[in-house]
Amino acid sequence: GEEVAQTPKHLVRGEGQKAKLYCAPIKGHSYVFWYQQVLKNEFKFLISFQNENVFDETGMPKERFSAKCLPNSPCSLEIQATKLEDSAVYFCASSQSTHISGNTIYFGEGSWLTVV
């Protein structure tokens, strides 16, 4: 597609439940990025992929967060045993290259996760 598509737009989970978010990158884009934004504050980089391979996961809280990009499937970000502090908007982005110089990263509209 011509845009980064994220689903669901809104998700409510009770504390301790699992949450799974999906992202379909722009067609032809090999690189996918996940960011977390809590309460309109600064964006936190979580993880990036080159096709199905993890490229950079320095921002991932590994104990409860996991992500995948499998061939012919939307990418996913999964949070096991959600906590109140996981309430945030999760943005997915894609680009033709992670070598950003001269390239552009395009963002989806985000998935709002509310943990109650």
Partner 1 sequence: DAKTTQPPSMDCAEGRAANLPCNHSTISGNEYVYWYRQIHSQGPQYIIHGLKNNETNEMASLIITEDRKSSTLILPHATLRDTAVYYCIVPRPLTGGGNKLTFGTGTQLKVEL
Backbone angles phi, psi at 31, to 5 degrees: -120, 135
Say which residue the tokens 């989806």 belong to: 108
Mapped onto helix, strand or coil, the DSSP state of residue 38 is coil
Closest approach of partner 1 to the CB of residue 41, in Å: 8
d(CA 90, CA 113): 7
Among 48, 69, 75, 86, binds partner 1 (CB under 8 A): 48
Give the phi and the psi of residue 29 in degrees, each rounded to 5.
-90, 130
CB of 77 to partner 1, least distance (A): 15
- The 8-class DSSP code of residue 99 comes to -
Scanning 10-18, 50-58, 61-69, 79-87 for contacts with partner 1 by CB under 8 A, the matching segment is 50-58
Q: Which residues bind partner 1 (CB under 8 A)?
A: 4, 31, 33, 35, 37, 40, 42-43, 45, 48, 50, 55-56, 89, 91, 93, 97-102, 104-110, 112
